[in-house]
Amino acid sequence: MEKSLRVAIVDDLTEDSQRLADYLEQFQREHNMEIKMDVYNASFEFLEKYHGNYDVIFLDIEMPGSDGLEVAREIRTKDEAVGIIFVTGMAKYAVEGYAVHAIDFIVKPVGYYNFAVKLEKETGADIEFINLSGGVGIPYKPDQEPNDIAVIGEGVRKVYEEVLVPAGMGDVAIYTELGRFMMGPYGCLVTKAIHEKNTYKNYIGVDACAVNLMRPAMYGAYHHITVLGKENEPCDHKYDVTGSLCENNDKFAIDRMLPEIERGDYLVIHDAGAHGFSMGYNYNGKLKSAELLLKEDGSVQMIRRAETPKDYFATFDCFEIGKKLGE
């Protein structure tokens, strides 16, 4: 082979990274060149192993932990030459992407549509629907702009008509999952500061934990935090905000600049309406909290009660002693 290319694919969705890897394998066969590929399904894993050893990096944007834009910015502090290509369904990020000198964008629906056309043509399969998978992201930081769902929808429609309709596939249904987009921004976790510790670092312990919101503990996801009653005070104190589990990753924030927090203060952890309660568990015997619905008229309704010890021991009712637990 005459040419050789070193490529990294960074995408948290295995099916997307595999699809791109398949495309690249086909490309190298058709163009008589060698492509050496490494696939990473987590941004932190890629950053740990990156030492300027790639010619091209394909980056997803919406990923847990550090998103593709943050990864690209870090890459650019070390390597100005490497080619960065964003692979995303979020075309609105184009401006930010080119600001870190991305050389191109690949919009994910094009790949799905072309793949469907090719599949039907080569196999005769009757394609009834295409699942665009990953949904639409939300802005977790106050300075981030929300996605415009109408713009995204128009982009999907445009590509649909450009790719599927000419192939005689204008009756194919389009599915996607919009749970986080619809629910994420509209739920908050309200927790109380009950402990403080000032050794080596300043820690604030709260009465919530990863049982209530697992994302920060699992992969360092950012959730904005407001201290009630101190919204207009300067954020001049650096804290780790911790939960109460016996795991050192049970933290809602690390080195976060916040107003001074005192015991008894209430903290609002934003954008917890998705992947919050549904990811919860009962580690350390922790019980899940109640959920309250704030209505448009200002009234509040409980829509899920807090768990009780009786709930916790409910599955032991196959034993006589188990029936007495939690009473």
Q: Which amino acid is at 317?
A: D
Cα gap 21→111, rounded to integer Å: 12
Q: Which amino acid is at 164?
A: L
269: β partners: 189, 225
Question: Which residue in this structure is represented by tokens 């932990």?
Answer: 65
Q: Which amino acid is at 60?
A: D
Q: Which of 188, 209, 246, 318 is catalytic?
A: 246
- Assigned token pair, 265: 């203060």
Angle (nearest 5°) at CA 21 between 19 and 25: 120
Residue 11: how many CA atoms within 13 Å on its side-chain side? 25
Contact 293, 300 (CB under 8 A): yes
Q: Which amino acid is at 209?
A: C
Contact 190, 266 (CB under 8 A): yes
Cβ burial, residue 279 (10 Å; 0-12/13-18/19+): middle
Cα gap 271→252, rounded to integer Å: 12
Q: Which alpha helices (DSSP H) does the chain contain, by range?
A: 14-30, 43-49, 68-78, 94-99, 108-123, 149-163, 179-183, 215-219, 309-312, 320-324
User: Is 246 one of the annotated active-site residues of the chain?
Assistant: yes
Please identify every residue annotated as catalytic.
246
